[in-house]
């Protein structure tokens, strides 16, 4: 990354931390196969990995742990995401647990994805958003097959730090730290690891 790009990334992160500007980010990995039959097989495997959310936790010690829960907030380790389900996210280190809810699912012949947004802990009072990003943010996890190529992406939209009351509750400071660190370096580690896992195993 060039110095100018680094400076722009820092500036955008600071504006997002202040709630002055939302950030959109996309991380992708792809695999090109010798023929469409091979690509179809890799796509089918990537689809299964995409929807097997609990297995994402096995990717690396440096990445987050993910736990799928149903609409009642109960663990759902053997299922696939459905609209209204929750995902509990535990980041490395001493940080609070983060929660998202699944708001959209696409499952087509050559494209599969699901989108989630920050939400309150389903076991709590429902007041604050238990995530370091505001609930207007969304994260889409996607796999698509085109010809000989299979591509996996994580697409973050409208990302801003959740550090304003009442939405942030007592998490404002730690949310600021986690969001800032994510934009500067951790997101790349996390999402590049995930997208590479989806297409390569």
pLDDT in tens, 150-198: 999 999 999 999 988 888 888 888 888 888 888 777 888 899 999 999 9
Question: What are the angstrom distances between the C-alpha of 115 and each of 88, 106, 136, 153?
Answer: 14, 9, 12, 12
Cα angle 180, 184, 185 (rounded to 5 degrees) comes to 120
Q: Is the pLDDT of residue 94 over 70?
A: yes
Tokens of 57: 């936790």
Distance CA 177, CA 96 (A): 12
What fold characterizes domain 3-200? Answer: Alpha-D-Glucose-1,6-Bisphosphate; Chain A, domain 4 (3.30.530)
Q: Is the pLDDT of residue 67 over 60?
A: yes
- Give me the DSSP letters along 135-191: TT-EEEEEEEEETTEEEEEEEEEEE-B--STTTTTT-HHHHHHHHHHIIIIIHHHHH
pLDDT-derived band at 43 (thresholds 50, 70, 90) equals very high
Q: Is the pLDDT of residue 1 over 60?
A: no
Helix (H, G, I), strand (E, B) or coil at 89: strand
For 110-144, write each residue's pLDDT tens digit. 999 999 999 999 998 667 999 999 999 999 999 99
Tokens of 65: 């742990």
For 81-91, write each residue's pLDDT tens digit. 999 999 999 99
Residue 167 has what pLDDT?
Answer: 85
Distance CA 131, CA 32 (A): 35
The alpha-helical segments, DSSP class H, found in the chain are: 3-17, 36-51, 172-181, 187-200
Q: Using the CB atoms, write b or e for 134-146: b if 16+ within 10 Å.
A: bbebbbbbbbbbe
Helix (H, G, I), strand (E, B) or coil at 73: coil
Helix (H, G, I), strand (E, B) or coil at 26: strand
């Amino acid at each position: 990354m060039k110095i100018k790009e680094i400076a722009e990334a820092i500036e955008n992160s600071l504006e997002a931390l202040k709630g002055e500007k939302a950030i959109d980010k996309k991380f992708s990995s792809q695999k090109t196969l010798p023929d469409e039959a091979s690509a179809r097989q890799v796509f089918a495997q990537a689809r299964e990995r995409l929807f097997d959310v609990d297995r994402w936790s096995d990717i690396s010690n440096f990445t987050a742990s993910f736990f799928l829960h149903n609409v009642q907030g109960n663990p759902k380790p053997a299922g696939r995401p459905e609209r209204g389900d929750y995902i509990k996210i535990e980041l490395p280190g001493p940080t609070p647990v983060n929660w998202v809810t699944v708001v959209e699912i696409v499952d087509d012949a050559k494209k599969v994805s699901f989108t989630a947004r920050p939400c309150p802990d389903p076991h709590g009072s429902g007041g604050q958003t238990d995530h370091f990003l505001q609930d207007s943010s969304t994260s889409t996890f996607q796999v698509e097959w085109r010809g000989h190529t299979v591509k996996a992406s994580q697409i973050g939209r409208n990302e801003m730090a959740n550090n304003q009351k009442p939405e942030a509750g007592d998490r404002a400071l730690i949310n600021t730290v986690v969001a800032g660190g994510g934009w500067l370096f951790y997101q790349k580690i996390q999402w590049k690891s995930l997208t590479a896992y989806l297409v390569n195993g």
